[in-house]
Amino acid sequence: MPEQQIKWDQIYRNSDITAAPATVLRQNACLLPTQGTALDLACGLGGNALFLAQHGLETQAWDISPVALAKLDDKSQSAGLHIQTKPVKITPETFSHQAFDVIVVSRFLDRSLASAILDALNPDGLLFYQTFVVDKLTRSGPSNPDYLLQRNELLTLFEALTLVYYQELSRIGDLNAGNRDEALFIGQKT
């Protein structure tokens, strides 16, 4: 069993965190198509997947943790939603020529997937991405800098997309206000 699976299974088995959609998705839900396919990549408890399925999208949710996915299956069934969950250690090969109208990635960073994510977007498809930055202010998120975004890095990783929305507040102004820990990105394949 992969080390990451053991780690994340243990976190989800012992935690009472609830599934919630990422801010970048919730606050920009008006951009979502009314029908089509969606992927919540490294979904955890699937807050994004539930949100996408509620919006009428045919939704897949992939994660390395079967414990998290079992909780998502329970939640989607009791909400009367269909979400196709896939327990998998995600690599570029996982996409295997599938394409989606919407891909959401929150609080997960594996730079080696960037090109597979781009390829997996349908024409006009949207990528919503939100994750931690290297100069975050709080202790939330990973401490290993390999899993933290450099300044403006999402703009470079996904420069092939047309930029729709970007927020990275950095350390400008009143540090007690605003999300200083994460960068938020939306891009469209045009």
Ligand X SMILES: C[S@@+](CC[C@H](N)C(=O)[O-])C[C@H]1O[C@@H](n2cnc3c(N)ncnc32)[C@H](O)[C@@H]1O
Residues that bind ligand X (CB under 6 A): 4, 8, 22, 42-44, 47, 63-65, 68, 89-90, 106-108
Tell me the pairing of strands 83-87 and 121-132.
unpaired
Choice between 44 and 125, CB closer to ligand X: 44
Q: How far is the CB of 35 from ligand X (least distance, A)?
A: 23
- Closer Cβ to ligand X, 8 or 185, answer by number: 8
| Complex with ligand X: residue 4 or 190, whichever CB lies closer | 4
Residue of minimal Cβ distance to ligand X: 44
In angstroms, give the least distance from the CB of 108 to ligand X. Answer: 4
Which of 81, 174 has the CB closer to ligand X? 81
Distance of alpha carbon 79 from alpha carbon 101, whole angstroms: 23
Minimum separation from the CB atom of position 163 to ligand X (A)? 22
Written as six digits, the tokens of 146 are: 């390999």
**CB of 17 vs ligand X, minimal distance in Å:** 8
